[in-house]
Structure 1
């Protein structure tokens, strides 16, 4: 088949790779001049099944409401008239029960574990490099109270297949010597040994090049998707700034813009943009930096070691499609990073960035056929798109081929 994939971020590029591996003739349409220039350009760098807990929960409900008036939290909500945000919020609030938290987290974990295996198999097959490290990730807490409360979510994930080790501060520093200077400020944490890290931008750029050179995938860069030409129950063409692009099937993987496109054609796709901030800074003294990825669960800051660079990520800001940032948006992030890794870096040398995560109210991506017989979705991965991209692409390829997926599809196949 001829398949048109909309979007060349990590999700769209991975989908294109798996579809091309199946023998399809794949064309990718991307508005930027090269791959991975949107959401996938910079993230925390974590490939993290350990981060599979859904955002919507009874605790998140309280935080979400507090964020309406307290803008110093890691979650920020800017009130303004936005009917799509209001509709999304109502759906999010309906997911904030203990029952939905468990159900959504189980689905996320299932896909995340599968996707980690897919990433590693892909890397072995292609030989791609992307500053990857397979040393695990530490999720740690500042107080005993937050440690006791926070480990319950990880224990639930452990019951569903995630290997974990609950560690005290001595064991934590044994695993991560880079945290020795902050040992007295940490109560303990959770070590997920199968988690890993890597630079998603490098991965996407290299995978796009491999897919083009070895699998014949055609990338139409600098080409904006303007709409879909639909006749009856079939998408005839993708309308683009470069003219119509035809295919036997179309896949929407446009990150936060997926919802905008889908709604124009009656597709119930509640993807909403949630802004995050990252800073990437060279390590002045590598011995003082981390050796693996981690997350300060109380300060809501994640980080990873990418070669000789430190990537720091923070904040979930509900502010529509605004991608702008100011230096002060990174103040808390740098304060926490310097607290954890004193003397490791000079923040004046950091590359600053902000981007939009495509969040679903239940934190579960949408994959599969949508409304029209040849239109597919692979989007809504939120803050774990890097973690889930390859698993989603392989899962989608199975659906397109009519094969039984390698993992249980319950909760994953789109039913909108």
Structure 2
């Protein structure tokens, strides 16, 4: 089949590679001049099944409302004249129950564990490196109270297939020597040995080169998707800034813009942009930096070691499609990085970035056919887009081919909420 993949982030590029492996004629349409120039450009670098707990929970409900009034929290809610934000928020609030939290977290965990294996298999097949480290991720808490409360979510994931070790203060420096100097500031944490880290932009760029050279994938850069031309129960063509493009099937992987395009064509696709911030800085003294990925659960800070660079990311800001940032937006990130890894970097050398995560109210992505018989969705991956990208692409390729996916996909189907 001739297949158009809309979007060349890590999710769209991985989907294109898996579809091309099946022998399809694949073209990827991307508005930027290169792959991974949107959401996939910069993130915490964590490939993290351990972070599979859904955002919507009874505790998140309280934090969400606090974020309206206190913009120093990891979650910031900036009220604006955006009717869809309020509709999305109502759907998010409906997910903030314990039964929904558990169901959504299990769906994410199942996909994340599968996807981690897919990343490793596909990178080995393509012969690509991406500053990866396969040493696990350490999720830690500053206070005993937050440790006691937060451990419950990880215990739940552990009971359903995630290998974990609950770590006290004395074990911290053994697992992560990079935190030895500050271990007395940490009450305890969770070590997930199957988690790993890596640079999603490097991975996407190198996978795209492999897909083009070895699998025949065509990338059309600088081309904006404007609309879908529909005829009856199918998509006849995609209207773009370069003219119409016809195909036998279309895959929507446009990150936060997926919801905008989908709703224009009658799809109930509640994908909303949530802004995150990240800084990347060279390590002046690598011995003082982390040796693996980590997350400060009290501060909602995630970090990773990418070669001799330190990546630190934070914040979930509800502010529509505003991608702008100011230096003060990174104050908490620098504060946390200096606190955890003192003397390891010069913040004047940091590259600063802000981008939008495509969030579903449930935190569970949508993968599969939707409304039109030749339109497929692969979007809404939220904060686990890098983690789940290759698993999502493989599941999608199976569905397009009429194969039974290797994992249960019921919770990933269109309209699953």
TM tier, shorter chain? over 0.9
Alpha-carbon distance in 1 for matches of 2:367, 2:378: 5
Q: Output one character per residue of 1:112-157: Cα deviation in whole Å (capped at 9) or x when no partner.
A: 0000010011111111110000000000000111101001000000
* Residue 164 (structure 1) aligns with: 164
TM-fit CA distance, 1:412: 1.3
TM-fit CA distance, 1:169: 1.5
2:166 alignment partner, SS class: strand
Alpha-carbon distance in 1 for matches of 2:126, 2:172: 34
Check if 1:80 corresponds to 2:80.
yes
Q: Output one character per residue of 1:373-400: Cα deviation in whole Å (capped at 9) or x when no partner.
A: 1000000000110000000000000100
Q: Gaps (5+ residues) in structure 1?
A: none
Alpha-carbon distance in 2 for matches of 1:19, 1:171: 44
2:5–2:26 Cα contact (<8 Å) kept: yes
Pairing of 1:17-416 with structure 2 (within 5 A): 17-415=17-415
Number of corresponding residues = 416
1:181 alignment partner, SS class: helix
2:2–2:249 Cα contact (<8 Å) kept: yes
2:227 alignment partner, SS class: strand
Alpha-carbon distance in 1 for matches of 2:226, 2:124: 37
Q: Gaps (5+ residues) in structure 2?
A: none
Q: Output one character per residue of 1:327-347: Cα deviation in whole Å (capped at 9) or x when no partner.
A: 000001100110000000010
Name the TM-score, length of structure 2 as normaliser: 0.99
Alpha-carbon distance in 1 for matches of 2:230, 2:236: 6
Alpha-carbon distance in 2 for matches of 1:167, 1:184: 13
1:387 alignment partner, SS class: helix
1:374 alignment partner, SS class: strand
Alpha-carbon distance in 2 for matches of 1:68, 1:328: 18
Alpha-carbon distance in 1 for matches of 2:71, 2:163: 36
Alpha-carbon distance in 2 for matches of 1:118, 1:306: 20
Alpha-carbon distance in 2 for matches of 1:409, 1:299: 33
1:279 alignment partner, SS class: strand
* Residue 16 (structure 1) aligns with: 16
TM-fit CA distance, 1:415: 3.0
TM-fit CA distance, 1:410: 2.2
Alpha-carbon distance in 2 for matches of 1:21, 1:257: 27
Q: Output one character per residue of 1:178-227: Cα deviation in whole Å (capped at 9) or x when no partner.
A: 10111110011000000000000000000000000000000000000011
Name the TM-score, length of structure 1 as normaliser: 0.99
Alpha-carbon distance in 1 for matches of 2:209, 2:138: 33
Runs of 4+ in 1 over 3 A off after TM superposition: none
Alpha-carbon distance in 2 for matches of 1:172, 1:2: 52
1:259 alignment partner, SS class: helix
2:268–2:415 Cα contact (<8 Å) kept: no
TM-fit CA distance, 1:403: 0.4
TM-fit CA distance, 1:236: 0.6
Q: Output one character per residue of 1:344-384: Cα deviation in whole Å (capped at 9) or x when no partner.
A: 00101000000000000000000100100100000000011
Alpha-carbon distance in 2 for matches of 1:118, 1:78: 37
Alpha-carbon distance in 2 for matches of 1:152, 1:116: 23
Alpha-carbon distance in 2 for matches of 1:410, 1:244: 33
Alpha-carbon distance in 2 for matches of 1:167, 1:74: 24
Alpha-carbon distance in 2 for matches of 1:300, 1:373: 40
Alpha-carbon distance in 2 for matches of 1:392, 1:2: 20
